[in-house]
Amino acid sequence: MRRLAFFLLAFTALSANAESRRDPWELVGVDRVPRSEPTIGDYEDVTVRFANGRSYKVPLYRTEPITVLRGEDGVAYLLTVGADCVMCDEHNTLRFFLLGGKELVGSGKRHSYPGTLKDYESSELVSKTRTFYGRCLSDKSDVVVWFTEYLGDDDKWHRASTVARVSKGGEVETEGASLVAVTDRAKAGACKELPGTEGTTEP
């Protein structure tokens, strides 16, 4: 009995230590409530819940919360995909929302979601994008990285890479990242690649 009591106390202590080390902004749940409005259409109210007990309604339609990103200054951002309307031609795009206030605060910037895009009139392939998120670089922070191939006005294919970093001042984009280095870190589990979708350009 004494040995059992010792193991129970040790397990309780380990559990308490693990709980204390838990990121307070760890995403622990997503709640969805179906809605329908004549002028909007069918949609869902989406609320995200975190380990610290906080919860926020996501101010987007067609939204899918992805993860929480941490900036080098310790700030936390929710990375999610969504759109500003339901019955419209707007693509789902990636958005950043600052955590910690009374409600989610976004910059209003729309970032492309990975996949392929064809011209909505000609069906010609015009772009291919791969997107990764997490500790994908040597930074001491999470980042989101896009690798894009696109058909330019000169009818030639071009390549570009974009890195987004988050801080209390918002998200900042820079150019330049190695696809080989990022995919190596993804294979090692330091970051993840978002699955791509097929779509057409917006009219």
Neighbours of 40 (CB within 10 A): 12
Q: Does residue 49 contact residue 28 with C-beta atoms inside 8 Å?
A: yes
pLDDT of residue 70: 95
Task: Report whether pLDDT(203) > 90.
Answer: no
pLDDT of residue 10: 41
Q: How far apart are CA 1 and CA 71, in angstroms?
A: 48
Average pLDDT score over residue span 37-46:
93
- The DSSP bridge partners found for residue 111 are 94
pLDDT in tens, 143-199: 999 999 999 999 999 999 999 999 998 899 999 899 999 999 999 999 999 999 998
Q: How far apart are CA 82 and CA 95, in angstroms?
A: 7
Sorted by where each begins, the domain ranges of the chain are 27-200
Per-residue pLDDT band at 20 (split at 50, 70, 90): low
| DSSP states of 88-143 | SSPPPEEEEEE-SSSS-EE----BPPSEEEE-TTT--EEEEEEEEEES-SSSSS-E
Task: Report whether pLDDT(9) > 80.
Answer: no
CA proximity to 74, closest of 111, 25, 28 = 25
Per-residue pLDDT band at 68 (split at 50, 70, 90): very high
- Strands 115-118 and 197-200, by their bridges, are parallel
The separation between CA 174 and the C-alpha centre of its own chain, rounded to angstroms, equals 18
Per-residue pLDDT band at 11 (split at 50, 70, 90): very low
Q: State the residue for tokens 């951002």.
A: 77
Per-residue b or e along 84-115, where b marks 16 or more CB atoms closer than 10 Å to that residue's CB:
eebeeeebbbbbbbbbeeeebebeeebbbbbb
Task: Report whether pLDDT(8) > 80.
Answer: no
Average pLDDT score over residue span 23-29:
95
pLDDT in tens, 94-141: 999 999 999 998 988 999 999 999 999 999 999 999 999 999 999 889
Task: Report whether pLDDT(84) > 90.
Answer: yes
